[in-house]
Structure 1
Amino acid sequence: MKFNHLIRFTPIYQSRVWGGRRMETLLGAALPDATTPFGEAWTVCDRPEAPSVTADGVTLHELWTNHREAVFGKTLLKSTSPTFPLLMKILDACDDLSIQVHPPASMAEELKGEPKTEMWYIAHADPGAKIYAGLKPGATRADFETALLNGTVADVVHVIEARTGDCLFIPSGRVHAIGAGLLIYEIQQNSDTTYRVFDWNRVGLDGKPRALHVQESMQSIDFTDFEPGVQQVQSNGTLVNCEYFNVKVLSGSKLAGIPGESLTIAVVSGKITVGGTTLKAGDFALVPATLASPSRLVKPADAESQWLEIRVPV
């Protein structure tokens, strides 16, 4: 099998009570039906319940397991992860998501979950849209417990006015929620463990209240995490550089990495052409390690075209 071109996967759409249709209206996605509120598109995923598959029927898991060096490069050969370490999504929040937390590595095994650190890039924000992240200054565990009893959890969680182009880092243990009116690109550890601590007293698509995980949440929340801010873009485009992923936002004509290096491109606005393949906003593509330099040249359609470069650190 030769890997001399970009590798693309078919998105896996997930219905959510808080979802909508903006992946269709803003990104031109072909959603599976005409009425379901789709909240998530899993665009790069190596999980058994939702495996990413190419148009030729090759799964991301097969690439990671059987073609590691050719697709992901020599540096990732030493990875002991049984699956590709990252999960990438697009989220369409037309209603507030639950206030939630992901377990830190120190607690995940005890809670029978998987740790999850993630980041959000806001591709579209309606006027007045909000993000909830961390605690308000001075809020204590006791304050949080009282707010749980009173149904006022949002009053002790820090609120950020969201703007298109903002990026927020969400380490495991940070209480958070995506507010209504946001279209977000999410890059995260390959985990699907989420503990809901408050769900705005609403019901799910089946008409029943969704399950809460208050005990697990209270064990996971970092009660010293106050008033986090958005990420500042570094001079080289870096948004987040942590032990799990490195993400940059870029524009202008340039090479997507060097031969021998693997990365993922996610277009957040406009269009770009890479090695003869045109990608538009909402498209993700894996750049295989064996791709030669000429085929790595990114040509943006115009000055408004931007994309994320996503790497697994080595």
Structure 2
Amino acid sequence: MVDNKEPIFLKPVLQEKIWGGNKLETEFGMLLPSQKIGESWSISAHPNGVSTIISPKMFEGMGLDTFYQTYPDYFGGKVEERFPLLTKILDASDDLSVQVHPDDIYGLEHEGELGKTECWYVISAEEGSKIVYGHTAQTQEEFKEKIEKQEWKDLFLEIPVQAGDFFDVPHGTIHAIGKGIVILETQQNSDTTYRVYDYDRVDEQGHQRDLHIQQSLDVTRFPHQHPVLKDARHDIEDGYVHHYLSNDYFSVWKWQVDGQMSIFLDEGYYLVTVIKGAGKMRIDEREYKLSLSHSFILPFGTQEIRLTGDLELIASKPNRQVD
């Protein structure tokens, strides 16, 4: 047991992608190992990329996966087999593949891990940027037929996006982030993706990436329905709290600060990333500097934080109850 638990600041894992770019360096100040970095796994305990602790010093260098299991009191005393969430910043220098994710039952049966429900906050978007968000097929058979005929324009629904947009992307939703978009993604801790279409592009070795047509047919929702957000914004002091969604897996908020603002937290632990600006966070008698792209966990039992500066943060907390 550790008393007076401090926030856990984490070092992200940078993932190279065929569609990645360098905005995580030019816009967020990260030092990139290449100019094709597509994702910063900011808060991750997934085996494919585990964030490590920067502070407090007593935990420095420890992986989040190990910390989660070793210090359960930071997470309410009871923990799952795997840390439940994963948050990322994505830089789409090119279009991502059109894809879909399974639910928990299918994911566990076929991939050995949970499914993937996610959501996106659009940090920036170049003029004319679009996403794929849904499809036109009414049935699985119609979906398969359009794929076989390569009727991509008729099959996929595209919508324009701009900075500040938020999208709920439940499992079974056909989707793709378009070129020129940077997002903060909150998702279940899963790395299972089924590609439907990848623009026939090839990697540096001249190979096309695998498609997963049968799995996509198995898990896609028919017909597509746009999720309806029941979001709400509350103005407080020098800023506001915008609650975007709560589902079976997580709740997500934006904290906008222009001056000083106190936030009172419900029970649970919170995952937080600074997506704009800089400032300070005060918890009890301790103060922490916050800069762009900083990501941290507010431990279970944190009741109030006071934020100062010009800041935008995306916060989330898991909703699954541990038996």
Fold shared per TM-score above 0.5: yes
Cα gap change, 1:21 to 1:3, in 2 (>3 Å)? farther
Could you tell me which amino acid in structure 2 is paired with residue 60 of structure 1?
A: L
Partner of 1:62: 66
Amino acid corresponding to residue 57 of structure 1 in structure 2: G
Change (3 A) 1:72 1:163: same
Give the letter aligned to residue 287 of structure 1. L
Mapped to 1, the partners of 2:119 and 2:268 lie a distance apart of 22
* Distance 1:65-1:141 versus aligned 2 partners, 3 A rule: same
CA gap of 1:186–1:292, structure 2 versus 1, over 3 A, is: closer
Query: Is the contact between residue 198 and residue 212 of structure 1 (CA under 8 Å) also seen in structure 2?
Result: yes
Q: Tell me the equivalent position of 2:133.
A: 133
- Measured in 2, the distance between the counterparts of 1:125 and 1:153 equals 23
Q: Tell me the residue number matched to 2:102.
A: 103
Q: Which residue of 2 is the match for residue 119 of structure 1?
A: 119
Structure 1 residues 288 and 110, CA gap change in structure 2 (3 angstroms): closer
Query: Counterpart of 1:222 in 2: which secondary structure?
Result: coil
1:235 alignment counterpart: 233
Matched residue, 2:75: 72
Q: CA 1:312 to 1:152, structure 2 compared with 1: closer, same or farther past 3 Å?
A: same
Letter in 2 for 1:134: G
Deviation at 1:15, TM superposition (A): 0.5
2:238 matched residue in structure 1: none
Judging changes above 3 Å, is the alpha-carbon distance between structure 1 residues 272 and 154 closer, same or farther for their aligned structure 2 residues? farther
Structure 2 residue matching 1:168: 3-state secondary structure:
strand
In structure 2, which of residues 278, 299, 303 is the aligned counterpart of residue 288 of structure 1?
A: 299
Residue 267 (structure 1) aligned to one of 274, 277, 281 = 274
Gaps of 5+ in 2: 55-59, 235-241
Deviations 1:4-35 (A, max 9, x none): 4321111110110000000111111111x2x4
Alignment partner of 1:84: what SS? coil
List per-residue Cα deviations over 1:137-191 (Å, max 9, x = no partner).
x644333223312333243122111110111111111111111110011110010
TM-superposed CA distance for 1:195, in Å, is: 0.5
SS of match in other structure, 1:111: helix
CA distance in 1, matches of 2:266, 2:244: 23
Which residue matches 1:40? 39
CA contact (8 A) 2:39 2:88 kept: yes
Gaps of 5+ in 1: none
Task: Please show how residues 194-233 of structure 1 align to structure 2 within 5 Å.
Answer: 194-226=193-225, 228=226, 231=229, 233=231
- In the alignment, is the contact (CA less than 8 A) between 1:160 and 1:229 conserved in 2? no
- Contact in 2 for aligned 1:139/1:156 (Cα 8 Å): no
Aligned partner of 2:142: which letter?
A: D
- The structural deviation recorded for 1:261 is 4.0
Shift of 1:83: 1.5
- C-alpha contact (below 8 Å) 1:239/1:248 kept by paired residues: yes
Identify, as 1 or 2, the structure richer in strand.
2
Letter in 2 for 1:274: M
- Could you say what the CA RMSD is over the residues aligned between the two structures, in angstroms? 2.2
1:272 Cα deviation from its structure 2 partner: 3.1
8 Å contact from structure 1 (residues 166, 231) kept in 2: no
Question: Taking CA–CA contacts closer than 8 Å with sequence separation of 6 or more, which of the two structures ends up with the larger relative contact order?
Answer: 1
Any idea what the Cα deviations from partners look like across 1:33-82, whole Å, max 9, x if unmatched? 2x43000111111122321111311221222112111x2234xx2x4x21
Mapped partners of 2:102, 2:182: distance in 1: 24
